[in-house]
C-alpha cells in the first residue's frame, strides 16, 4: 500500500478521534451545566437580592425620620431573609424546618428568583461586581471586567446561570453590546466634563 494512502487513512482516523473527543467534551459540559446552572443563578440572585443587598442599619431610623417605615421594613426583610436562608439546604428550599410564616416567605422568595429575568439579573450582577471591585470609576471594557471577576472568584462558574449553552451565549452577547454602549456614553461624558471627575476623586480622597 502506498505511503500516501496510509497517510490519508491515518488522517481520517485522527479526525474521527478528534470529533469523538469534542463530542464527549460537549456532552460533559452539557451535563455539568444542567447540574449546576440553577445553583449559580441562585447565588447570583442572593448577591443582588439577598440579606446583604439591604444596606439600612438601625441608626438610619433616627438619621432619616421621613424614611422610618421603609427602613424598618427593610431591616425586617433582611432579618427574615437570614432566618429563612439558614434553613435552606444549599440552594434548595427546605420547608420541613420552617414555620408557616417562614414557609410563606420562602415560597415568595423562590417565585421571585424563578421569575427573575436572567439578563436583568446578570446585568445587576455586573454592577454589583463593578462596585465591589472598585471598578465603577474606571469602567473597564466588558471583557476586562469579566476577567477581573473570574480572577476574584477563582473561576468562571459564577456566570454560568443558563440551563442551555445557546441561551448563555445569547445573553452574554447582549450584555456585551449593551455594556459597551453604556461604557462609551459614560467615557465620553467623563471626557467632556473633567471637572466632575476631579470633584469625585477629591471627595474620595478626603479624610
Q: What's the confidence (pLDDT) of residue 18? A: 75
* Spatial separation of the C-alpha atoms in residues 207 and 196, rounded to whole Å: 19
Domain-wise residue ranges, the chain: 36-116, 117-207
Instruction: Find where cell 446583604 sits.
Output: 52
Contact 71, 61 (CB under 8 A): yes
Q: What's the confidence (pLDDT) of residue 10? A: 67
* Spatial separation of the C-alpha atoms in residues 193 and 195, rounded to whole Å: 5
Q: What's the confidence (pLDDT) of residue 112? A: 96
* Spatial separation of the C-alpha atoms in residues 167 and 114, rounded to whole Å: 16
Task: Write out the three cell numbers for 197.
Answer: 471627575
Q: Which residues, at least 6 apart from 142, have a Cβ–Cβ distance to it below 8 Å?
A: 175, 176, 179, 180, 183
Q: Could you say which residues of the chain have pLDDT below 50?
A: 202-207
Q: What's the confidence (pLDDT) of residue 204? A: 45
Q: What's the confidence (pLDDT) of residue 24? A: 87
Q: Considering the entire predicted model, what is its pTM?
A: 0.83
Distances, alpha carbon 84 to alpha carbons 42, 102, 200, in Å: 14, 6, 39
What are the beta bridge partners of residue 92?
A: 89
Residue 66: CB atoms within 10 Å: 7
- Using left for φ > 0, alpha for ψ between -120 and 50, and beta otherwise, residue 88 falls in beta
Amino acid at each position: 500500500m502506498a505511503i500516501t494512502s496510509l497517510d490519508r487513512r491515518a488522517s481520517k482516523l485522527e479526525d474521527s478521534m478528534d470529533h469523538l473527543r469534542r463530542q464527549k467534551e460537549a456532552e460533559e459540559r452539557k451535563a455539568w451545566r444542567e447540574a449546576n446552572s440553577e445553583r449559580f443563578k441562585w447565588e447570583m440572585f442572593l448577591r443582588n437580592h439577598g440579606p446583604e443587598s439591604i444596606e439600612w442599619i438601625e441608626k438610619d431610623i433616627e438619621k432619616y425620620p421621613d424614611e422610618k417605615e421603609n427602613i424598618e421594613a427593610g431591616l425586617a426583610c433582611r432579618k427574615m431573609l437570614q432566618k429563612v436562608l439558614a434553613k435552606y439546604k444549599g440552594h434548595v428550599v427546605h420547608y420541613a424546618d420552617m414555620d408557616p410564616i417562614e414557609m410563606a416567605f420562602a415560597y415568595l422568595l423562590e417565585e421571585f428568583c424563578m421569575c427573575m429575568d436572567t439578563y436583568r439579573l446578570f446585568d445587576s450582577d455586573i454592577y454589583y461586581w463593578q462596585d465591589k471591585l472598585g471598578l465603577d470609576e474606571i469602567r473597564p471594557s466588558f471583557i476586562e471586567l469579566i476577567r477581573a471577576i473570574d480572577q476574584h472568584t477563582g473561576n468562571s462558574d459564577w456566570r454560568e446561570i443558563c440551563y442551555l449553552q445557546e441561551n448563555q451565549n445569547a445573553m452574554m452577547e447582549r450584555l456585551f453590546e449593551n455594556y459597551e454602549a453604556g461604557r462609551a456614553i459614560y467615557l465620553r461624558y467623563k471626557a467632556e466634563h473633567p471637572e466632575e471627575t476631579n470633584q469625585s476623586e477629591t471627595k474620595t480622597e478626603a479624610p
